[in-house]
């Protein structure tokens, strides 16, 4: 896959319509909604990129997760980019992200929720079972655009169990605003230092567990061990 090809925004990916035939397994969709604004430049973005590699590795160690966990990457740094449309973990190539621009977080959240809704429609058409979609938001700043409308949508979608949004604030993040964006039952978590690797190891472990859930059996997520400052209830 060619990662310079970030124009999924413009050119619809029609291969979507074929993938469920090859792999009719249940899906666990996860959108990584990543802040790549200028303030992430330097060590944070390097650590984030390392984290993505570990994320991929850890998913690949699990023969079910690699077929079932679907990853999509949306970045917001200056503009919102769909860097990776949904693919199963085995097809996922961790991108190398660069930091620049402002923090259009509201627009990014909106796009993520759109993508999730479209994905769910596709699952329904194909008769593919799914688990609750996750949107994993990581930011070190504050939205530079209108985020209130997106926040309302997050709250509505969470209540309706359309998806679950997890927000992680990196050093410097506006935790207050993040708290208003996240649903009340899933308050944001602060990343300890730049522990992106630990964060992504934890996320992939969690997705592995969720991806093996069967009908009626809900999985309890592992507690975040070493990457979070003051973890709430997932």
In the complex, the residues that contact other proteins under the rule CB under 8 A are 10-22, 122, 125-126
What's the CA angle centered on 146, arms 142 and 30, to 5 degrees? 70
Q: Is 43 exposed, middle or buried (0-12, 13-18, 19+ CB in 10 A)?
A: exposed
**CA 176, CA 47: separation in Å to the nearest integer?**
24
**CA 57, CA 24: separation in Å to the nearest integer?**
23
- Residue placing its CB nearer to other proteins in the complex, 2 or 217: 2
- Residue placing its CB nearer to other proteins in the complex, 40 or 113: 113
CB of 124 to other proteins, least distance (A): 10
Contact between 120 and 130 (Cβ < 8 Å): yes
Contact between 27 and 131 (Cβ < 8 Å): yes
Q: Is the CA virtual torsion 111, 105, 168, 52 positive or negative?
A: positive
Contact between 184 and 203 (Cβ < 8 Å): no
CB of 7 to other proteins, least distance (A): 9
Q: How far is CA 47 from CA 44, 85, 97, 139, in A?
A: 5, 22, 10, 13
- Residue placing its CB nearer to other proteins in the complex, 18 or 220: 18
- Residue placing its CB nearer to other proteins in the complex, 2 or 218: 2
- Residue placing its CB nearer to other proteins in the complex, 122 or 221: 122
CB of 71 to other proteins, least distance (A): 18
Nearest to 109 by CA among 176, 39, 183: 183
CB of 113 to other proteins, least distance (A): 18
Q: What tokens does 119 get?
A: 């994905």
Element (H, E) at 74: strand 69-77
- Residue placing its CB nearer to other proteins in the complex, 72 or 103: 72
- Residue placing its CB nearer to other proteins in the complex, 118 or 146: 118
């Amino acid at each position: 896959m060619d990662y310079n090809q970030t124009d999924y925004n413009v050119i619809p990916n029609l291969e979507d319509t074929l993938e469920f035939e090859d792999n009719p397994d249940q899906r666990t969709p996860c959108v990584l909604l990543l802040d790549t604004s200028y303030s992430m430049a330097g060590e944070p973005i390097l650590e984030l990129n390392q984290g993505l590699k570990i994320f991929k590795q850890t998913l690949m160690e699990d023969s079910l997760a690699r077929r079932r966990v679907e990853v999509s990457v949306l970045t917001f740094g200056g503009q919102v980019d769909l860097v990776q449309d949904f693919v199963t973990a085995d097809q996922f190539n961790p991108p190398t992200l660069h930091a620049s621009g402002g923090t259009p977080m509201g627009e990014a959240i909106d796009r993520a929720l759109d993508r999730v809704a479209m994905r769910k429609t596709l699952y329904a058409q194909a008769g593919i079972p799914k688990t609750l979609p996750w949107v994993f938001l990581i930011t070190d700043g504050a939205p530079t655009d209108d985020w209130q409308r997106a926040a309302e949508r997050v709250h509505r979608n969470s209540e309706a169990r359309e998806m679950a949004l997890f927000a992680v604030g990196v050093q410097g993040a506006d935790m207050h605003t993040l708290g208003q964006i996240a649903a009340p039952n899933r308050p944001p978590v602060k990343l300890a230092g730049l522990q992106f690797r630990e964060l992504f190891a934890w996320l992939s472990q969690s997705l592995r567990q969720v991806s093996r859930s069967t009908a009626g059996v809900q999985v309890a997520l592992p507690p975040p061990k070493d990457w979070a400052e003051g973890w709430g209830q997932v």
